[in-house]
Structure 1
């Protein structure tokens, strides 16, 4: 999406061959999305819905794309009325909603149903290397884009520290999801606040 007033970029490096290990990367990323969103002023059920949607989109990409890096973005739309989360992946297959009754035994396959229920809009945009899957949520009280942009850096730093603390305290330590601040050179998770106008 172009024209966003505030953007927070993160890359989840989910390169483990085992899908369960790739899924371990999602919780720290959700924590980052929560921290940045709070810093922007997103609250209440919208905050909870946004974090759930972001986690589901990341989980789908990590599960179905295979070992890869997943660039993602949290964006405040220019009018301040909507927040959007996007994940890029290299898979050509489009996500699809599972419809009809399940067999009661499946442990996956319902994430997009949650995204569809919680987001006001969601979809895919083709890219040269695959696709972007995105979801957008309306904010009950519009945010001031200038105020969010002015505080975006402080929120980004707080999110980086939150993610590092979360991963450092996590008993499941995988080579692909080590502490971000201690292993930036190995690319466990990369965080970068976007500066408006760049």
Structure 2
């Protein structure tokens, strides 16, 4: 089960898109649900240019929260905050500990251990803010916004 707050704005011409957030339980199905929620928000905002990058960052941050940050019986909060031509992704969890800075020399086989490395490569910037309880892991990706009435530049 998820809880959502959709902060819609009144006038799309004069107001920037409003942030969206959703609370997810500590369940495996929360990660695909978070990806779908992010894609829906980006589509509604007209942020199509880097949508795949944003959705991948959401997936990695949500997965890290579930695997490393969310204590049993708790959940995590995903917030999407549009700014200028980009979007800030925040994942809040109440777990202890702060993620380690990703190593770029990881060459071991397997699927794990590369989430924050991917985020650091895709995002313009990322970081961790300690909270009580827990932390917020965030990233920002610019250049995501192409309004529906404008064309992408020709390359």
Q: Report the TM-score range of the alignment, normalised by the length of the smaller protein.
A: 0.7 to 0.9
Residue 140 of structure 1 and its aligned partner are, at CA, apart by 5.2
Equivalent position SS for 2:59? helix
Task: Name which of 111, 126, 131 aligns with 1:127.
Answer: 131
Q: CA RMSD in A?
A: 2.0
CA distance in 2, matches of 1:58, 1:141: 23
Relative contact order, higher structure (CA 8 A, sep 6+): 1
How many residues get paired? 130
- For normalisation by structure 2, the TM-score amounts to 0.76
CA distance in 1, matches of 2:106, 2:145: 36
Equivalent position SS for 2:52? helix
Task: Name which of 41, 63, 77 aligns with 1:71.
Answer: 77
Equivalent position SS for 2:140? strand
Determine which structure has the larger helix proportion and give its number: 1
Match of 2:63 in 1: 59
CA distance in 2, matches of 1:126, 1:142: 33
CA distance in 1, matches of 2:129, 2:146: 26
CA distance in 2, matches of 1:103, 1:56: 19
Contact 1:27/1:55 (CA < 8 Å) preserved in 2?
Answer: yes
- For normalisation by structure 1, the TM-score amounts to 0.60
For each residue in 1:58-101, what CA deviation from the matched residue of structure 2 results, as whole angstroms up to 9, or x when unmatched? 00000112432101100012xx2321110111123111213423
CA distance in 2, matches of 1:84, 1:71: 14
Q: Any unmatched runs of 5+ in structure 1?
A: 15-21, 144-198
Contact 1:98/1:109 (CA < 8 Å) preserved in 2?
Answer: no
Contact 2:47/2:146 (CA < 8 Å) preserved in 1?
Answer: no
Q: Any unmatched runs of 5+ in structure 2?
A: 1-15, 148-155
